[in-house]
Amino acid sequence: MMWKFMLGLLSLVTIVQGKERLVLVENGKTDYVIQADANDPVVQKAAAVISTFTKESTGVDFAIQAKVDGTHAIILERSPITNASPEDSYSIEAVGKNIYIKGSGKGVLFAAYRYVRDVIGGRKWYTGKENTDVPKCTALYVDADLKIFSKPNFQFREVYFPVELDQEYMDWYGLHNLEDRWGDWGHTFSKILPPSIYFKDHPEYYALYDGKRQPIQLCLSNEEVFNHTVAYFKKRMLENPTAIYWSIAANDDIGSCTCDLCQAIDKREGGAQGSLIHFVNRVAGKFPDKKFTTLAYLESANAPAHLRVADNVSVILSNIDAFRKNDISSEYSAATFRRQLGAWKSKSKHVFVWDYLTQFTNYLAPFPIQGTMQKSMQYLKGQGVEGVFLQGGGATYSDMAELNAYILANLAWDTDGRSEEQLTDEFIEGYYGKAAPFIKKYLDLRRNHLPGASSALSIYGNPIDNRKDFLSPEAMDQYSTLLEKAEIASEGNPLLESRIRRVGLGLDYTYLQQARFYGPHQHGIFEQDGEHWVVRPNVSRKVTQFIKDAKRLGVIELAEGGASPDAYAKEWSEIFNAGVRTNKASQASIKLKNPFDPSFPANGLETLSDSVPGYMDYSYNWLLWNGEPMDITFDFEQEKHIDTIELNFLKDARHWIFSPKEVRISVSQNGEDFQDVLLRKLESQEEDYTVEKVRYRALINDRVKVIRVYAEPLAKLPEWRYHPKRNALIACDEIWIN
């Protein structure tokens, strides 16, 4: 492997130049011991790391002692946090025959893993012992003038991928976990004053919104809300005295208070960020020795016009609206984020960034961000950002999670060290072995197939969006060929085979999702066998193998809050059992009175007659109408015998999609005189976030020429899902005429 070759080359150069070296291990022996404070658990853990990995590599371990006299020693010490040596920084220095390893915070432990990387040549690619490589060495040396000092570029560094399940990985790269740093994290208003406890008796604690008090946010000008918040944090700080940060942030929704007092501040400051920062500053002022955070997100994304953020408060700004084809310093859609970041830096001493690095609606879908990560991280560092929350798929596997986590983990510590290309090459060669050239080609190819600058790589996209460019059937065939070659190269090595298969999961998932879109057409689920429609054998095989491998290889859910592999298998079983229904609607001329929402074009107007049903994802195989009625006519030109008319509407309140207020189906034998065959009116919309289809069916059993289907959306959103800038949507997948 390349990194082993480089280590050997460095040793050779040292010998040739005659540079003096300290001999740590040679010929199965060592003169060194480790000195470590027996009462310091971090120092003891660092000592164990050095001793354990040295023994694994050479067969020789170092004795660990509290005090060493008159012998060669590796001396581990905790050092104080200073401006020059911030938290987690460390140094490794040879002084005489001794080696001093010092670090502030957990820095001495991070330095121990630096020893494993640089002296032994160890590499940790991913979670678990099986993904940790430790070379076998007969001797270990360090230069007699060794002197290293390293400090992180960011105070807070979280890489939110499955690597968080492995504490050794976290320590290896000097990463943090929000649960270890925050007493309360993220959206906290409902934690501070739970509506289930307080709203009934004290509605005044909550936001005046849309003309009445609602338990969606807090009224931040209410003095009792302030007093309760102060009391809440006093109690929580006693319960968790080691926490570093405490979050005061709005719930994950809009709905800021519009009462006179809150509005007075918000109007002066340019938005809901005004009353939020005013409130957070007041609370933080009661705890001058504590650190607080708040979220610049949705209504509070912009910086206040006049207020400055208190010095013991850090603002966490989200770039959720940015597409990810390019790095955030150059991506056109990130311009608003860049403006907001600059404004917050002018108003706040401390700014963190919440960054998004996967497709949350389809974790496994290919998401080619490779080549953009270093520039993004360098941009954040250059802007003075102090902390980064780099969100991948969390505990579940997402596209290229191992590689992305490795690159981000290294860059979170040092944005300007090794280049992203160097890190990528090192990882691919070390992790994929003989299959490395094919994986590298696969990653390069999918980047090269990305469409022009005007097209997005959205964190809320899906495999259908790119079916005509980088996820086209032709491109997918090229990727599959490369991964087949990678599989052949890894044959006989179960570990490598599993690593290659993880990459292949993304292609299989994309194939299956696109097959749903194509239905009974080319590249779809079904094919015709004589007079019957049957499941394509390849689709059936892929589903079975995909589910089996997904469960084996760490896939917990397929989207944020989405289906598990078992639930996905159940969806496919239902699709196979339903089969293909012919639809006479395809024989008619179809006309729309009001256009559907162009943001979700599906298969255009044919979506309503192509025999491809929608499933539980509104983003494809559904046509949506935004605040306007769905008014459609099917003209057969000549009378045709019709038995039934059937259609489904999607109900997905989380995305403001509701059952229609009214559904009316009318038929005509001459195209002029219509008779209603179905009329349904919805009396009310109860609070319900269940995603489901609502079915309507009319029995005709007659000859008709023209059919009209009319569906009217809710005139206004229900109170429990109110939004000032949204309309009620209706979504229809197919109008079955039989």
Instruction: Report pLDDT digits (tens) over 92-117.
Output: 999 999 999 999 999 999 999 999 99
Quick one: pLDDT at residue 6? 40
Q: Report the relative pairing of strands 662-668 and 692-712 from DSSP bridges.
A: antiparallel
CB 728 within 8 A of CB 658: yes
Q: What is the per-residue pLDDT for 9?
A: 38
- pLDDT tens, position by position, 566-605: 999 999 999 999 899 889 999 999 999 999 999 888 889 9
Distances (CA, A) of 358 to 170, 475, 567: 20, 20, 22
* Class of residue 136 by CB neighbours under 10 A (exposed 0-12, middle 13-18, buried 19+): exposed
Q: How far is CA 152 from CA 85, 349, 415, in A?
A: 10, 18, 9
* pLDDT over 70 (residue 11): no
627-679 tens-digit pLDDT: 999 999 999 999 999 999 999 999 999 899 999 999 999 999 999 999 999 99
pLDDT of the residue at 253: 85
Q: What is the pLDDT of residue 58?
A: 97
Q: Tell me how far apart the alpha carbons of residues 529 and 536 are, in angstroms, rounded to a whole number.
A: 10
Q: What pLDDT digit, counting tens, does each position of 496-512 carry?
A: 999 999 999 999 999 99
Residue 14 has pLDDT above 70, yes or no: no
Question: Which pLDDT tens digit goes with each residue over 259-306?
Answer: 999 999 999 999 999 999 999 999 999 999 999 999 999 999 999 999
Closest CA to 439 of 425, 451, 450: 425
What rounded mean pLDDT belongs to the chain? 94
**For position 7, what pLDDT does the model report?**
44
What is d(CA 135, CA 418) in angstroms, rounded to the nearest whole number?
22
Instruction: Answer whether residue 523 shows pLDDT above 50.
Output: yes
Residue 700 has pLDDT above 70, yes or no: yes
Place of tokens 């057969």: 636
Q: What pLDDT band is residue 5 in, cutting at 50, 70 and 90?
A: very low
Q: Cα-flanking dihedrals φ and ψ of residue 614, to 5°? A: -85, 155
**Would the pTM count as exceeding 0.85?**
yes
In the structure, what pLDDT confidence band is assigned to residue 12 with cuts at 50, 70 and 90? very low
Mean pLDDT for the stretch of residues 467-488: 96
Q: What pLDDT score was predicted for residue 575?
A: 92
Taking only the tens place, the pLDDT of each residue in 210-257 is 899 999 999 999 999 999 999 999 999 999 999 999 999 999 888 999
Cα–Cα separations (whole angstroms), residue 8 to 61, 324, 561: 22, 39, 48
Q: Work out the pLDDT band at 366, boundaries 50, 70, 90.
A: very high
pLDDT at position 597: 94
pLDDT over 80 (residue 18): no
Taking the C-alpha atoms of residue 265 and residue 273, their distance in angstroms, rounded to an integer, is 9
C-beta separation of 221 from 265 below 8 A: yes
Which alpha helices (H) appear in 173-318, and where do they start and end?
178-181, 189-192, 195-198, 223-239, 260-269, 273-285
* pLDDT(64) > 80: yes
Amino acid at 446: R
* pLDDT higher than threshold 90 for residue 475: yes
Kindly indicate the confidence band of residue 455, based on its pLDDT and cuts at 50, 70 and 90. low
Contact present, 512 and 546 (Cβ < 8 Å): yes
For residue 71, name the pLDDT band (cuts at 50, 70, 90): confident
pLDDT band at 8 (very low <50, low <70, confident <90, very high): very low
Q: Is 419 exposed, middle or buried (0-12, 13-18, 19+ CB in 10 A)?
A: exposed
Helix (H) or strand (E) holding 483: helix 473-489
352, amino acid identity: F
Query: How far apart, in whole angstroms, are the C-alpha atoms of residue 76 and residue 78?
Result: 7
Q: What is the pLDDT, as a whole number, of residue 454?
A: 57
Least confident piece of the model among 8-12, 230-234, 359-363: 8-12
CB 364 within 8 A of CB 329: no
